[in-house]
Amino acid sequence: MLVLVTGAAGHIGGHVTRELLAAGHRVVLTDLLPVGEPRAERVHTGDLQDPDLVRAAVEGVDAVVHLGAIPHPNVPDPSALFAHNCLTTHRVFEETGRAGAHRVVAASSMSAVGLAWSPEPLSPCYVPLDEQHPTLVRDPYGLSKVVLEEVAAAAHRRWGLDTVSLRFPFTGVGDRLDHFLAACARDPAGQRHDLWGWLHTADAATAVRLALETELRGSHVLNVTAADTTSAVPSAELMARHHPGVATRAEVTGHATLFDTSACTELLGFVPRRTWRIPEAPEVPEALEGEHTSA
């Protein structure tokens, strides 16, 4: 496929671009910042608020990966953030539909639930948290992601676009991930609103590729997380300490994620491959204790 990736200069965008190229797809890239990828068919530098730029970027593509957005609510003008993210989202879906492409995979966020950036303490209604969880949003960024998911559904109804909105938690690799994990080790309460969710960025890119390549029809919202949490504390203990009294709809053992990702596995065949934990050493049989072996 020829795939447009918006936000291609961003953290996830670079991983997605490399994942798609490695799988044999061709890419068109766009971002506010210049993108240095010589293998791209075309590169468009500019603002997704510009209709001419978006029309030029979607021309001839088979599908779109929409990653371009202001990625957090820590800005001086919350209304401007909301307006920007909503306008650019609608622009991308609208022009993709007009251009005759068949699919959009968009980066939504666990923030669409409303826990992550809440200005006051909140707890989920239940865990594992699935895609049907009630919306608790009070911040402009999370609200813009709720709108993204509704725009995707409307684009399917209007243009027949097949859409997949992937609800990502924090994504990271290298120093970015190390810093996030270290913060959790110092103070697990600091990530209570994230439900200690995370995803390795390479796994996020794989989920995007699978969502592009699937035969799935319609408009879908899917949770995508790593299989474990960011904490060394067992998941049930984290909930008891920081979200007491929250209902548990299914048993959560060990350090398992507190998000229900079964729909993503069932519909896309996605299984996260990466964990930050060091595997436990296998037990040594008593018969071998004290013995030395060579290969």
- Position 291 scores a pLDDT of 35
Asked whether the bond before 128 is cis by omega within 30 degrees of 0, the reply is yes
Checking if the pLDDT of 281 tops 50, the result is no
Checking if the pLDDT of 284 tops 90, the result is no
DSSP symbol at 120? S
Residue 51 lies in a domain: yes
Task: Name the residue range of residue 162's domain.
Answer: 2-171+200-227+257-277
Residue 147 lies in a domain: yes
Lowest-pLDDT range of 49-58, 107-116, 189-198, 281-290: 281-290
Checking if the pLDDT of 110 tops 80, the result is yes
Phi first, then psi, for residue 21 (nearest 5°) are -65, -40
Q: What distance in Å separates the CA atoms of residue 14 and residue 8, rounded to the nearest whole number?
A: 6
- DSSP H helices, 76-173, are 78-99, 140-159
Q: What distance in Å separates the CA atoms of residue 179 and residue 218, rounded to the nearest whole number?
A: 38
Q: What distance in Å separates the CA atoms of residue 44 and residue 23, rounded to the nearest whole number?
A: 22
Residue 166 lies in a domain: yes
Residues 44-81: tens digit of each pLDDT: 999 999 999 999 999 999 999 999 999 999 999 999 99
Phi first, then psi, for residue 27 (nearest 5°) are -130, 145
Residue 32 lies in a domain: yes
Residues 191-237: tens digit of each pLDDT: 999 999 999 999 999 999 999 999 999 999 999 999 999 999 999 99
Phi first, then psi, for residue 77 (nearest 5°) are -125, 90
Q: Which residues of 127-149 are buried (b: 16+ CB within 10 A; e: fewer)?
A: bbbebebeeebebbbbbbbbbbb
- Indicate the burial class of 81 (C-beta count within 10 angstroms; 0-12, 13-18, 19 or more): buried
Residue 246 lies in a domain: no
Q: Which residues of 17-42 are buried (b: 16+ CB within 10 A; e: fewer)?
A: bebbeeeebebbbbbeeebebeebeb
160 Rama sector, left if φ>0, alpha if ψ -120 to 50, beta otherwise: left
Residues 142-161: tens digit of each pLDDT: 999 999 999 999 999 999 99
Q: What distance in Å separates the CA atoms of residue 275 and residue 181, rounded to the nearest whole number?
A: 12
Is residue 6 within 8 Å of residue 96, measured between CB atoms?
Answer: no
233, two tokens = 């504390």
Number of domains in the chain: 1
- Position 278 scores a pLDDT of 77
Residue 241 lies in a domain: no
DSSP symbol at 281? P
Is residue 209 within 8 Å of residue 19, measured between CB atoms?
Answer: yes
Residue 137 lies in a domain: yes
Residue 192 lies in a domain: no
- Indicate the burial class of 199 (C-beta count within 10 angstroms; 0-12, 13-18, 19 or more): buried
Lowest-pLDDT range of 81-90, 119-128, 222-231, 283-292: 283-292
Q: Residue 219 is part of a domain; what is its CATH number?
A: 3.40.50.720
Position of tokens 């069932």? 266
Q: What distance in Å separates the CA atoms of residue 63 and residue 220, rounded to the nearest whole number?
A: 16
